[in-house]
Structure 1
Amino acid sequence: MIVKKLREQRSWSQEQLAQIAGLSLRTIQRVEAGNKASLETLKSLAAVFEVDIGKLTAEIVVIDKDSTAWQAEPWYIRWCLYGVRRRSHMLAIEYSMIVVGIVTLLTTTKPVAAAAAFLGAYINTKLLSYIDQRAYW
């Protein structure tokens, strides 16, 4: 999340940010984990970072494929995300695979095709989780 990036740019720990913003450490941890923040929390963080509240609530959804960290990823990770730039595209792929799996399961007698769609959705979910953990969005 953007709060973590802003904090790391200033080389602050979560504890330091909590103290400066007048918030609890747990609140900072929740916000950085992507949980919703109250308006008061957002106001405090926006004041500390000297940014608009809108910047804090904007979701970073584009992978920076020019970064050194991204280039260091294994080829198969980069290949799986070839052409994907937004997180919402990954979610759309996942939901589509689930729908295809359900429709296939209900309309055919070939459970292998449905299983393949569900497996694809599962792999997509794991890939999305991996990218989220690495904070490439």
Structure 2
Amino acid sequence: MRRLRQQREWSQEELAAYSGIHHTQISRIERMQNSVGIDMIEKLAMAFGVSVGELLD
């Protein structure tokens, strides 16, 4: 997720705005301090414009 965000030159706040997930949650996910449910995975994939499978690869 961090790699995709950085490739797009998005801040965590921008990804939060695009995905509807709070920026502190984005930070925790990137630092692997939080587990991620399928609903969040789907929101992130939609924000990046990729499939869930691509996001998880």
Q: Distance in 1 between matches of 2:54 and 2:36?
A: 13
How far has the Cα of 1:57 moved from its partner? 2.4
Identity %: 38
How far has the Cα of 1:40 moved from its partner? 1.0
State which structure, 1 or 2, has the greater radius of gyration over its C-alpha atoms. 1
The code of the aligned residue for 1:25 comes to H
How far has the Cα of 1:23 moved from its partner? 0.8
Aligned counterpart, 1:10: 8
Q: Distance in 2 between matches of 1:57 and 1:10?
A: 17
Q: Distance in 1 between matches of 2:8 and 2:56?
A: 19
Aligned counterpart, 1:20: 18
Q: TM-score, normalised by structure 1?
A: 0.38
Q: TM-score, normalised by structure 2?
A: 0.83
Gaps of 5+ in 2: none
The code of the aligned residue for 2:36 comes to A
Q: Distance in 2 between matches of 1:44 and 1:9?
A: 18
Equivalenced residues, count: 56
RMSD over aligned CA atoms reads 1.3
Q: Which ranges of 4 or more aligned residues in structure 1 deviate by more than 3 Å?
A: none
